[in-house]
Amino acid sequence: MSRQKIITTIAFILFSISICHGQAAILVLIFGDKVASEKFHLSLDVGANASFYENAPGDVQMGWNFGLGTHTKISEKFQLVAEFKMISDRSRRNTPKILPVSEFADSLISEINTSWNIRYIDVPILVRYSVSDSWHFSTGPQISFLNRATEITELDLKNGNEATINQDIKNAFRSVNYSWAFEVVKSFGKVREGKGLDFRLRYVLGLSNVAAKDATVSSRVDVLQFIVTIPFIETDGKN
């Protein structure tokens, strides 16, 4: 594969950051098949996330991921898979409260339940090795950009009422973090009008501290992902 094609693939992913969710998906749906060739195609990816925080109290909360992918053929066995996941959930439930409650408010509260609603934009760039037409293995680096971090506090008041408070906690997290992804892929052919689907199990190993520099506790985050990939590829008349 030429250097120009590699640069084009990576540039597509970075350029996608400026495209909103709906527009990007619509562009792939409309033009995905039209830009496909033997060595290049686009895909839509959707799946589930389970995030595991190191040194951070709380419980795992299932989230979801959604994004676009480019698949560039390097050789018969190798592909470059560059993705732009505009939604990658790393939420957590039953968390310790980051932002304090005033003493006056505390006197009115009988119970507090706190959770984090956290979303990143993920940009993984993976090298995929094909063992066969059906099984593939991928690995590569990932950079993630913090998009949303909200502390959701659900209150049971002593007067019997309930209240919910949403507070921005982006300052408690670093805006960028780095990971390394490992993935196994099972391909099913001729499912979607002869084009097939990919079922992917990915483990993303956190390499950097996600907590802010002034935080008292450091924490990495590992993410287990299940992803369904809908490819937009060129098919011949035999399918």
Q: List the chain domain ranges.
A: 3-232
Euclidean distance between CA atoms 150 and 119, whole angstroms: 9
Backbone angles phi, psi at 23, to 5 degrees: -60, -45
| pTM for the predicted model, two decimal places | 0.79
> Using CA atoms, how far apart are residues 67 and 123, in angstroms rounded to an integer?
10
In 3D, which of 28, 36, 32 has the Cα closest to residue 234?
A: 36
Binned at pLDDT 50, 70 and 90, residue 218 comes out as confident
pLDDT of 4 over the 70 cut: no
> Rounded mean pLDDT of the chain?
80
Res 155: pLDDT = 72
Domain 3-232 has CATH 2.40.160: yes
Task: Determine which helix (DSSP H) or strand (DSSP E) holds 103, and give its type and residue range.
Answer: helix 103-106
Res. 106: pLDDT tops 90:
no
pLDDT at 233 > cutoff 80: no
With a cut of 60, say whether residue 17 has pLDDT above it: no
Which tokens in the block code for residue 12? 């597509």
Enter the DSSP assignment of 67.
E
